[in-house]
Amino acid sequence: MSEKVDWLGLLQDSKIKEFNEWRMANIFDKIDLSGKDFSGKDLSNAYLNGIKCNGTNLSNCNLQRANFAQSEIMDSNLEKADLTDAIFLYGNLKNSKLTNANLSGTNFMWSDLRNCDLSGAKFRKTVFVEAKLQDAKLDSLENQSIYLKFAKME
């Protein structure tokens, strides 16, 4: 009989290596972090692909190189989060707050960022290829190193 793992506790305690080992062995388990408060936590390198994370507080989090591919992260607070080199392929981030977040190297390809607040965010080699950015709040993108090919802005 296998031992039940407290995956939520592993994330809350920033035990990412242990969480990732559990996640790889339980890749089809549904993870719901909706409404949880992870503000200020170090979740860098976490395998958070396919999770549900609506209304979650991820402000001031270290989310460098985190994998959020195919995740649902709507109405969440990612203010001042460090999302350097994070992956959000096919992610749904509608209505989320990413103000003053570090989005350097972040990949939002095919993601839904409609109604997101990206004001004050740091962009460097940020990928928005085929992303939905309608009604997103963006500072001027002039002189920014971003990839917008086929992004939907209007």
- Is residue 1 pLDDT above 70, yes or no? no
- Identify whether 132 is part of a domain: yes
Structure tokens given for 138: 């963006």
Q: What number is the average pLDDT over the span 76-84?
A: 98
Average pLDDT for the chain: 93
**Count of domains observed in the chain:** 1
d(C-alpha 89, C-alpha 111), whole Å: 6
- Identify whether 142 is part of a domain: yes
Condensed to tens digits (0 to 9), the pLDDT of residues 41-59 reads 999 999 999 999 999 999 9
- Is residue 17 pLDDT above 60, yes or no? yes
| pLDDT score recorded for residue 2 | 44
CA end-to-end span of the chain:
54
- Identify whether 59 is part of a domain: yes
Q: How many Cβ atoms from other residues are within 10 Å of residue 37's Cβ? A: 13
Alpha-carbon dihedral sign for residues 126, 12, 31, 60: negative
- Asked whether 31 and 7 are in contact (CB, 8 A), the reply is yes
Q: Which amino acid would we find at residue 124?
A: R
Condensed to tens digits (0 to 9), the pLDDT of residues 81-111 reads 999 999 999 999 999 999 999 999 999 999 9
DSSP state of 27: T
Whole-prediction pTM value? 0.93
d(C-alpha 140, C-alpha 120), whole Å: 10
Q: E strands within 12-129?
A: 124-127
Residue 62's CATH number: 2.160.20.80
d(C-alpha 122, C-alpha 6), whole Å: 34
Structure tokens given for 38: 């992870």
- Identify whether 141 is part of a domain: yes
Q: Using 50, 70 and 90 to split pLDDT, how confident is the model at 142? A: low
State which residues form the domain around 67.
30-154
Q: What number is the average pLDDT over the span 103-129?
A: 96
- Identify whether 64 is part of a domain: yes
- Identify whether 15 is part of a domain: no
- Identify whether 55 is part of a domain: yes
Kindly report which listed range (5-19, 71-85, 135-149) carries the lowest average pLDDT score.
135-149
- Identify whether 72 is part of a domain: yes
Phi then psi for 61, rounded to 5 degrees?
-80, 150
